[in-house]
Structure 1
Amino acid sequence: MKKHIKKIVMILLTMFIFTSCSSGVKASNVANDENTADATNVSKKATRDTIVVALPKEPPTLDPHNEQSTVARTVEKVVYDRLVERTNGEIKPMLAKSWEILDDLTIRFHLRDDVYFHNGEKMTAEDVRYTIERAESMPASAYFFSSFDGKGTKVVDEYTIDIKLHNAFAPALNYLASSRGNIVCKKAVEEMGADAYGRAPIGTGPLKFSKWVSGDRIELVQNEAYWGNQTAYKKLVFRTIIDASSRAVELETGGIDISLDISPEDMGRLSENPDTRIVEGPGYAMNYFMINSLNFDTLADVKVREALAMALNTKQIVDAVFKGTARASDSVYPNTVDGYTQIGPMEYNPEKAKKMLVEAGWDFDTVLDIASASDEKALMDICEIAQNMWAEIGVKSKITSYETATLMDQQIAGKTLLSIAPDNPATGDPDHAVMSWYQAGLGLQDSQPIWDLIKEGRATYDKTARAAVYAKLQKLLWDSHGTIPVADLNVLYGTRSDIENMDVDPGKIPNLAYITISQQ
């Protein structure tokens, strides 16, 4: 059992980094490409048929089953379609016209018969069957599809499919509605191979892939054969602009139409500018401190972990770092996620925290090593404030910053102890939200009551009964102090003032096909 658990934790630690982050290449102009214009000139000045969006990082790939980055999923959202989509918390038809639950292990989907891939191939039930089996086997999507039975899934006819499950699985529709449920073209994947397909994806979405200039931009064009509504524009350009202040300047000057990652420091200026606007809404994302279960001994005593949590004034941290765009966490996942139960906030009491450390026999000569991703300013700011607050109770610490990829390697190798972690359970499902808590581990993988509740929550279809399970689970996780919740984050975008219908998706994966342009 323990070997099996460790394997799961290793896989999930790998997934965790890419769930919230992605590797990026510094933006540059590619002047030597005769087919490439300077990225700064790809703007609405050429034509209002073009929308330009700034990404904070470059996607590693656009293969939906082989990546975990939010930036990739944002591009994929308009390239691919899914069987169903989640809108305002409700599951609605997309490529599937309807569906029915035949039994606890079988969902029958009735597909549209007018859908074509971007290469002209007609989408059929075989493409869906292939997608399910592929998603189950690929490391980046395996967790979400571990309860799907790809081999057992049956094509009933060209436009009817019975998707099978290994076990009762309540998150099934939510996960099918996520980017991991993007339907791929079987023929294209098999002919191109996974790597090539990820660099030139073929879906059924409203926009189709046109060009990828590494480190610079990705271009999509309107899919004129789309089965649904056409976009209000002909071309969508994603530019890679890593620096937050540069994205804000580009937005102000009209070099981009949308920035999907605005720094709180730039909000006031952009709000006051008549040519730009801030688009904000509640999100699924949160920041917390996690303890590496492979390097656990120093913080094995629950009193020590509770004392560290009690020494942090999370409201003060959130106000200082996020400037009104987040709130102090009061549970192990945000109130936007299904099944949320308020438990906290954690009591802020540094005097009591210090007494608890003394009672636990804490060695005040110990130096906590706090790991953070160097390219995430907010996380570094949280670390620095926490470091000062812990110093007030006599806990020494040092902050070690790594590039995202290096931090992942350090975590997998068990070389980190305390890390500041971003998490974005973009499906909105509580199973997704608690995944990060038991992947953080802290020895909790050996706690049978927690594992029993996780399994029960996954297998409970009734919404009310399922919420009751997650209420118990949230309380157990909170009381274990396996992590220290800090901030529940809002979704924050910046747009030009003529951009309308900007989708404020809680998972930070907006559907840019909805965008319209006002005539000003």
Structure 2
Amino acid sequence: MKRRVFLFCSLMVLALSLLVAGCGGSKEESNDGGATGAQKSENVLVWGRGGDSPVLDPAIATDGEAAKVTINVFDTLVEYKPENTEVRPALAKEWSVSEDGLVWTFKLRDDVKFHDGTPFNADAVVYNFNRWMKKDNPLNNGECKYWMYMFNGYDEDSIVKSCEKTGDYEVKITLREPSAPFIQNIAMFSFGIASPTALEKYGNDFFKNPVGTGPFKFVEWVPDDRIVLEKNNEYWGEKAKVDKAVFRSIPDNAARFLELQAGTIDMMDGINPDDVAAAKSNENFQIILRPSMNIGYLSLNMEKEPFDNLKVRQAISHAINKQAIIDAFFAGLAKPAKNPMPPSLWGYNDDITDYEYDPAKAKALLAEAGFPDGFETTLWAMPVPRPYMQQPQKIAEAIQADLAAVGIKAEIVSYEWGQYLEKAENGEHDMVLLGWTGDNGDPDNFLYVLLDKDNAVKGSSSNYSFYKNDQVHDLFIKAQREMDQDKRADLYKQAQEIIHNDAPMVPLDHSTDPIVLMKYVKGYIPHPTGVEKINNVSVQ
């Protein structure tokens, strides 16, 4: 306890000293030493977050912390509107699709340059698509995982057959089969267009030397500390209102909140539920809720015993008290999940009845499975707060206690964030806590990405349960090729029933993520995908 008090005091002294020094502070101070929220002296936005970005190359990124930064450095051919997942023009001024749904033609802007001064044109688009599509491309090597997740694989496996230049500022993308979510998919952060010149120059080090066409240019990355971006004065769209944007990594939620109170950061995500009330009562702060489009879950690795046993998986589903976890760790900003996609999306199957919390039933199922005395295993817990799980370590402890009550002894394991993801993709875990924030507003982005056999490939898996069901796969592929949304919704509802019965994961929660900002921060609109451009945000 003494060490915790010392740490608290040290953090407060540090935060106040930084404020006095003028590092990100405001012009005025309130009686409690924090910023009044009136105005900043510097035109710099400082965003406090729970973890660093593992990479700054959107093509190889798979997590939200990378996306949060790269979406501001790179542009996509099309992008989502600020408030929803409706697609609008970006680097492509307009587009059209053939009657058979196989050929997409994009007319490109002719007034855009990359941050290194080289021109954006059709050649640049073709270069990027060839990098994403071809696994043996030296700048891919199977690392462009989102391409695989969204387009069924690389090379001949991909639904994208080719990307061709049809004019200096026009490209034609040909598909092997119709794809209903295609236009939504290419608006994702991961398909930001990178400078071919910079890719050639930096090669495999491009991940720490990003060059795009976005509203901000990359300046500096101090790992586990900060990433600094500066305003792109030649941006083709609405120019940034701040001169610099700084993304600071502050892993501890409480320490991050102290820094916000001290005025050394301007906004933060990942607030502890216990601090939400304090934030609401502070006249210097404003709280904005991100629209909920996520899922927090526990994946059970079906390639490892005893999780290959259906009754064991169902027992775990009955053993976990989801409502108690939400009551304890979400401050009323979440609800229990029963499906691997959120109810805010079309195609959600609300007729499914969740596995009720029933320890006695869990014990009975374990006995039927041949484990009357339970078993020992490991439970992986994320080292950083995420929008769908702000206190993963505490949630892991609660799950650990629930499992112990039915005889399952689970040791909690954690790693550095990038290593955690890499090891989970390799299938090294027994049970792993993770989650997903929707990228495009389409059920395919949850169900196919998280639970299709195509995405259960060790080394690049997004299906952390390594769940492989041919019937489910067929339903997913039919839904991708079907252009009628009502028919697609029916296919997804059928798939959810099968998944529920097979119990490859335990859906835990759908959260509403609070972002706390100083009052002087204006123009911030949190996007349901979890990442957004911040060129409209001002601090003065």
The TM-score normalised by the length of structure 1 is: 0.85
- Indicate whether 1:453 and 2:467 are aligned: no
**CA–CA distance in structure 2, aligned partners of residues 278 and 258 of structure 1:** 10
Q: Say whether the 8 Å CA contact 1:231–1:514 is kept in structure 2.
A: yes
Tell me whether 1:79 sits opposite 2:93 in the alignment: no
Q: 1:493 to 1:442 in 2, by over 3 A?
A: closer
Instruction: Work out whether 1:98 is the aligned partner of 2:79.
Output: no
CA deviation after TM superposition for structure 1 residue 364, in Å: 1.1
| Equivalent of 1:179 in 185, 189, 213 | 189
**One-letter identity of the residue aligned with 2:131:** R
Identify if the C-alpha distance between structure 1 residues 388 and 503 changes in structure 2 by more than 3 Å, giving closer, same or farther. Answer: same
Structure-1 residue corresponding to 2:146? 141
Q: Which residue of 400, 416, 434 corresponds with 1:421?
A: 434
Structure number with higher strand proportion: 1
Alpha-carbon distance, 1:303 to partner:
2.5
CA distance in 2, matches of 1:222, 1:423: 30
Q: TM-score, normalised by structure 2?
A: 0.82
Check whether the contact 1:39–1:239 (CA below 8 A) recurs between aligned residues.
no
User: How far apart are residue 77 of structure 1 and its match?
Assistant: 1.3
1:41 aligned residue: 23
Question: Which range moved further: 141-150 or 88-97?
Answer: 141-150
TM-superposition CA deviations, 1:323-357 (whole Å, max 9, x none)? 21211102121123443222243322333333333
Q: Which moved more, 1:503-512 or 1:363-372?
A: 363-372
Equivalent position of 2:505 in the other structure: 483
The separation in 2 between residues aligned to 1:49 and 1:40, in whole angstroms, is 13
Gaps of 5+ in 2: 1-10, 12-19, 28-39, 135-139, 457-462
Q: How many residues align?
A: 480
Residue in 2 aligned with 1:257? 266
- What pairs up with 1:328-347 in 2 under 5 angstroms? 328-342=336-350, 343-347=352-356
SS of the equivalent of 1:299 reads coil
**Distance in structure 2 (CA, Å) of the matches to 1:221 and 1:411:** 34
Q: Is the 8 A contact 2:366 2:374 kept in 1?
A: no
Go from structure 1 to structure 2 and tell me whether the alpha carbon gap of 1:202 and 1:399 turns closer, same or farther (over 3 Å shift): closer
Name the residue aligned to 2:492.
Answer: 470
Shifted more, 367-376 versus 113-122: the winner is 367-376
Q: Secondary structure at the match of 1:422?
A: strand
**Following TM superposition, by how much is the alpha carbon of 1:516 offset from its aligned partner in structure 2, in angstroms?**
3.1
Q: How does 1:33-432 map to 2 (within 5 A)?
A: 41-43=23-25, 47-87=41-81, 88-102=84-98, 103-137=100-134, 138=140, 139=143, 140-143=145-148, 144-145=150-151, 146=153, 152-195=162-205, 197-295=206-304, 297-342=305-350, 343-376=352-385, 378-408=391-421, 411=424, 414-432=427-445
Instruction: Tell me if structure 2 keeps the 8 A contact 1:44–1:51.
Output: no
Query: What residue is the counterpart of 2:521 in the other structure?
Result: 499
Does the aligned pair in 2 maintain the 1:331–1:344 contact within 8 Å? no
Deviations 1:157-182 (A, max 9, x none): 01111012233222221221011110
Tell me, in whole angstroms, the C-alpha distance in 2 between the residues paired with 1:272 and 1:428.
34
Q: Give the letter for the 1:332 counterpart.
A: P
Q: 1:256 to 1:409 in 2, by over 3 A?
A: closer
Q: 1:148 touches 1:164 (CA, 8 Å); kept in 2? A: no
Gaps of 5+ in 1: 1-26, 28-37
Q: Is the 8 A contact 1:183 1:203 kept in 2?
A: yes
**Letter in structure 1 aligned against 2:129:** I
Shift of 1:294: 2.6
**Is the contact between residue 444 and residue 450 of structure 1 (CA under 8 Å) also seen in structure 2?**
no
SS of residue paired to 2:290: strand
CA distance in 2, matches of 1:40, 1:480: 56
Cα separation, partners in 2 of 1:43 and 1:199, compared to 1, 3 Å: farther
User: Structure 2 CA distance, aligned partners of 1:492 and 1:218?
Assistant: 22
SS in structure 2 at match of 1:184:
coil
The structural deviation recorded for 1:479 is 1.3
Structure 1 residue identity aligned to 2:398: I
Alpha-carbon separation, structure 1, partners of 2:411 and 2:226: 37
* Paired letter, 1:100: S
Measured in 2, the distance between the counterparts of 1:353 and 1:131 equals: 50
1:6 corresponds in structure 2 to none
Say if 1:393 and 1:240 are closer, same or farther in 2 by CA, change over 3 A.
closer
Note closer, same or farther for the CA distance 1:507–1:319 as it changes in structure 2 (3 Å cut): same
Distance 2:239 2:300 in 1: 47
Deviation of residue 477 (structure 1)?
0.7
Query: Per-residue deviation at 1:411?
Result: 4.2
CA distance in structure 2 between the aligned counterparts of 1:408 and 1:52, rounded to whole angstroms? 26
Deviation of the 1:452 alpha carbon: 0.7
| Cα pair distance change 1:218/1:372, threshold 3 Å | closer
Is the contact made by 2:451 and 2:467 (CA closer than 8 Å) also made in structure 1?
Answer: no
1:395-414 CA distance string (max 9 Å, x none): 44333334445545654665
Cα distance, 1:382 vs structure 2: 2.1
Q: Which SS does the other structure have where 1:370 is aligned?
A: strand
Task: Report if the CA contact (8 A) 1:453-1:469 is conserved.
Answer: yes
Q: 1:154 to 1:205 in 2, by over 3 A?
A: same
Identity of matched residues, %: 28
Over 3 Å counting, the alpha-carbon distance change for 1:123 and 1:338 in structure 2 is farther
Shift of 1:443: 6.5
State the secondary structure of the residue aligned to 1:79.
coil
Q: Secondary structure at the match of 2:199?
A: helix
**Residues 200 and 432 of structure 1, relative CA distance in 2, 3 Å threshold:** same
Deviates further, 462-471 or 421-430: 421-430
Q: Cα offset for 1:441?
A: 6.3
Query: Do 2:49 and 2:268's aligned partners in 1 also have CA atoms closer than 8 Å?
Result: yes
TM-superposed deviation, 1:386: 2.1
CA distance in 1, matches of 2:417, 2:227: 22
Letter in 1 for 2:125: V
DSSP 3-state at the match of 1:82? coil
Letter paired with 1:487: D
Equivalent AA in structure 2 for residue 420 of structure 1: L
Q: Deviations over 1:227-266 (max 9, x none)?
A: 1112222222222222222211111111111113322222
